[in-house]
Chain A
Amino acid sequence: MIKYLLRQALSWLIRIFLAVNLTFFIATWFLNPASNYAERRPPLSPAQIQAMLKPWNLSTDVPLLSRWWTWLSGILFHWNWGNSPVGASVNVQVGFRVMVSAQLMLGATLVAFVIGIALGVYSASRQYKVSDRVVQFISIIGLNTSVVVVSLFVVLVAVQINRAVGTRIFYVTGASSTGVTGVWNILVDKAQHLILPSICLVFITFASYAMMQRMLLLDNIAADYVRLARSKGLRAPVAIRRHALRTSMIPVMVQLAYSLPGVFTGAAITENIFAWNGMGKYFVDTIYKNDIYGAVAVAAFASLMTGIGAMLSDVFVVFLDPRVRVS
């Protein structure tokens, strides 16, 4: 079992490595750091621009493969992810942003997963009743609404609530306020900032879990082994929880792994709307500023998140599925 998980982890590391390298070549091909200097007054000659980019390993005078090796060896041997076209270290930029995004993405994913499973079980055990229909209806809306619309709508509502109450309950910009002291105050302040973007991300992700869980549980409730458990005298909720739910949760776990790229896209949008200084905002900034190494670092972060999601779902599957545990 440990061997299986290690093998999975290794294959993910290889995939992340390849993905990051592919992004390096795509970014080098399509982003042009020299254009940042095009509007300088007085105008700079192309040779001058290249000379300015050279110390940051961005000069096109240096052969592509040589630049690639400088970049890769920097990461592998010195954990140095390169510099932006104006020389800011990517390590520093990413360092404080990673935690901001990771807590938003992983927190929202976890909450969405728990809510999704709970709603799936709830509506499956009330099939075709009003409550089931309502859950289904909300799920369809959540699954098919653009995160842009959800986020802007949440901002509108939050502003209205703030206005109606007269104090600022929800913050629509930033990840935290400056100058807050005391453990309790910091926690409250964090929650006030975190809640809105989290609601947006949860709303667009919970529905796929809820609908999948409902469908799978309905298949399993009708299965022979659940009927056997009921006929032995187990009450329906216990039979569902111990027998039907356990098996039907496995595919939902697998789904978790493949949902993280979508969460990353969602986080990119919400961070821009709520002005969070996380990886999602950095992602947009780096592309606008032709910051090749910054964009590559964002790619590494996104694939790492996908890999972590996949590994988490593997661990859960091992835990839930005896067939995987034994072989």
Chain B
Amino acid sequence: MTALAIDGTTPGPAVTAPPEKAQAGSSRMRLYVRRFLRNKPAVGGLVGFVLLVAFALAGGAATTWHYTDIDLLALTAPPGGTHIFGTNNVGGDIYAQVVHGLGRTLIIALSVSAVTLVIAAFLGGLAAYVGGKPQTVILGIINFLLACPAFLMMAIVAQKTGGNWVMLIVVLTLFGWMIMARVVWQMSTSIREREYVWAARYMGVPGPMVVLRHIVPNIGSLLVVQFILGIVSTVIQETALSFLGFGIKIPDVSLGSLLTNGQQTLATMPWAFYFPAGTLTLLTISVALMADGIRDALDPNSAAGGRA
């Protein structure tokens, strides 16, 4: 966010005095916050996301069960009693599993989205800025990888790594950065041709400085939004992989592997499906609403955030 505070029209280094700069930054930040808070669904999404993160971090305190515990005295118990969300067919406590699974899914999604963003920003920005041959090569690779069945390749590689969540992060990143890189490239090429970038160049501002001062701040809002949308798509992909049995495996759990369990007993004990499915849907939708609100708040041309 601080990158956004840099005044896009400031030509040389250290022209604005630091205190002024800080004030401009904070007031702009206030503006964004105000625009965001006007958007009711987005605020709802933010609240939902914060609650879910808190649930993943501290929800375990509400139960005495651990997600690996097996209660042989309460197989397929419906919700209630000491098992808040009930138990599954082997006596595992679903509440503890959902808390742990949500945490697992969240940490995977956040890491993958962050690393993907760095790769995408670097390659997409590089291709757009340098142009010519490197751009052709990078775009060629991206277009080729987009034609590859990424999900299949993820499954093949993830299956081999045997449910290790760190390796799953690597796999999801390795085969999932292309779309974001393309978006960054598209956005950067349009900014590269803007007048203020030309002006900076003609004034003799060196290349890396142009990227840092004029291009990055202007796609900064896009990067933030892409990061948040990346969380949604990673959650959906991770749960799909884990559901099919290629991602997170027993004894570890994620929301996807909990859904596999829910599927097996769908007709007889639907609560094993309801709770992980509800948590997952709440997570993806609240993050998506939040992303929508942030995009509108950061976009000066958007009318959705109201005036000023």
Contacts and interface: CB of A to CB of B under 8 A. Distances in A.
B14 to A, nearest CB: 41
B270 interface: yes
A284 B285 contact: no
Given A27-B156, A148-B239, A302 B289 contact: no
B146 A302 contact: no
A75 B266 CA distance: 43
A264 B179 CA distance: 16
A97 to B, nearest CB: 15
Interface string A140-180: 11011111110011011001000000000000000000000
A96 interface: no
Contacts of B75: none
Contacts of A143: 288
A159 B270 CA distance: 12
Interface in A5-26: 12, 15-16, 18-19, 22-23, 26
Contact of A26 (B153, B246, B273): B153
B201 interface: no
B277 A298 contact: no
A144 B235 CA distance: 10
B150 interface: yes
Interface residue tally on B, bucketed by range: 35 or more
Contacts of B262: 152
Interface of A is mostly: helix
B259 A159 contact: no
B144 A303 contact: no
Contacts of A159: 266-267
Contact of A144 (B148, B159, B179, B288): B288
A206 B243 CA distance: 23
A287 interface: yes
Interface string B201-242: 000000000000000000000000000000010011101100
A256 to B, nearest CB: 14
A152 B157 CA distance: 26
A184 interface: no
A200 to B, nearest CB: 13
A146 B244 contact: no
Interface residues of A, number: 44
A264 B155 CA distance: 13
A118 interface: no
B280 interface: yes
Contacts of B28: none
Contacts of B288: 140, 143-144
B240 A269 contact: yes
Contact of A149 (B143, B146, B147, B277): B277
Contacts of A152: 259, 262-263, 266, 273, 277
A302 B245 CA distance: 20
Contact of A147 (B148, B149, B240, B246): B240
A290 B174 CA distance: 22
Interface in B110-160: 143-144, 146-153, 155-157, 159-160
Contact of A23 (B143, B152, B259): B152
Interface in A300-326: 302-303, 306-307
21 contacts: A19-B148, A19-B149, A30-B156, A30-B160, A140-B285, A143-B288, A144-B236, A144-B288, A146-B281, A147-B236, A147-B240, A148-B239, A148-B243, A148-B259, A149-B259, A153-B277, A156-B266, A159-B267, A269-B243, A299-B148, A306-B149
Interface of A: 12, 15-16, 18-19, 22-23, 26-27, 30-31, 140-141, 143-149, 152-153, 155-156, 159, 258, 261, 264-265, 268-269, 272-273, 283-284, 287-288, 295, 298-299, 302-303, 306-307
Q: Name the 3 nearest CB pairs between A and B, nearest first.
A: A302-B149, A15-B147, A144-B288
